[in-house]
Amino acid sequence: MLRRGALLVVDVQLDFCPGGALAVPEGDQVVPPLNRYLELFKQSSAPVFASRDWHPAQSKHFKEQGGIWPPHCVQGSAGAEFHPGLLLPEGTIVISKGMSSWDNGYSALQGVTENGTPFAMLLRRMEMDRLYVGGLATDYCVKESVLEALKEGFAVTVLTDAIRGVEVEPGDSERALQEMWGAGAEQATFASVRGDLQAKVASRPPARTD
């Protein structure tokens, strides 16, 4: 069956990069490999989504309100910006999540577009059936997005050369990956994804015009 795949870049925001409020070790090192994927998906005319944590200033996700994290990715703040080196192509659809004060917002599948359309609904409307997922952080938002996408019935490929973990406890990322594989996620790196997409472009039926 022809697979229709989209790229989901998870939370490559300044607060999750070195120097940010909740820095993921080597978080910025996902940027160069993600740029290669972004270029590939753009060339293949495949959709690109970029999720972002987009928290209110007061959130139960934050330590002061009973959560476990320092304040980060507050709506409109500099730390909530995407990493400036991330080359999001024109037409990238931004998915915001964690926007209410009670919402951890780990899963991009709980996110919404700028128009308020739920991401999962949009993926169905666009007849997508596979998500290729990279970004930050392996052990939180990547993991939760992957697990929920699988639950929602999408196939998922984790881009293992374009993810990094928070590692609150050493080994968290490895455990997160095992959980994702156990739930049915597949893994790939750039060369095989490029092969996939090129094969698909070559075999794509004419676009429906009705």
* Residues marked as catalytic: 11, 97, 141
Binding mask 60-99 for ligand VGL (x = CB under 6 A): ---------x------------------------------
Q: Which is nearer to ligand VGL, 47 or 105 (CB)?
A: 105
C-alpha distances out from residue 159 to 19, 30, 43, 82, 123, Å: 24, 10, 18, 19, 19
- Residue pair 53/98 in contact (Cβ under 8 Å)? The answer is yes
Single out the residue of 136, 147, 176, 193 in contact with ligand VGL (rule: CB under 6 A).
136
User: b/e map of 191-201 (b: 16 or more CB within 10 Å)?
Assistant: eebbebbeeee
- Is residue 141 involved in binding ligand VGL (CB under 6 A)? yes
Single out the residue of 6, 80, 166, 177 in contact with ligand VGL (rule: CB under 6 A).
166
- Is residue 14 involved in binding ligand VGL (CB under 6 A)? no
Give the long-range contacts of residues 169-173, CB within 8 A, separation 24 or more. 172/138, 172/139, 173/137, 173/138, 173/139
- Is residue 11 involved in binding ligand VGL (CB under 6 A)? yes
Q: Which is nearer to ligand VGL, 53 or 196 (CB)?
A: 53
Stretch that binds ligand VGL, among 74-82, 118-126, 135-143, 199-207 (CB under 6 A): 135-143
Single out the residue of 88, 140, 161, 197 in contact with ligand VGL (rule: CB under 6 A).
140
Cα-to-chain-centroid distance, residue 42: 16
- Residue pair 111/105 in contact (Cβ under 8 Å)? The answer is yes
**Strand partners of residue 48:** 7
**How many alpha carbons lie under 13 Å from residue 178 in its C-beta half-sphere?**
5
Q: Which is nearer to ligand VGL, 16 or 49 (CB)?
A: 16
- Is residue 132 involved in binding ligand VGL (CB under 6 A)? no
Q: How far is the CB of 100 from ligand VGL (least distance, A)?
A: 14
Stretch that binds ligand VGL, among 88-96, 113-121, 132-140, 195-203 (CB under 6 A): 132-140
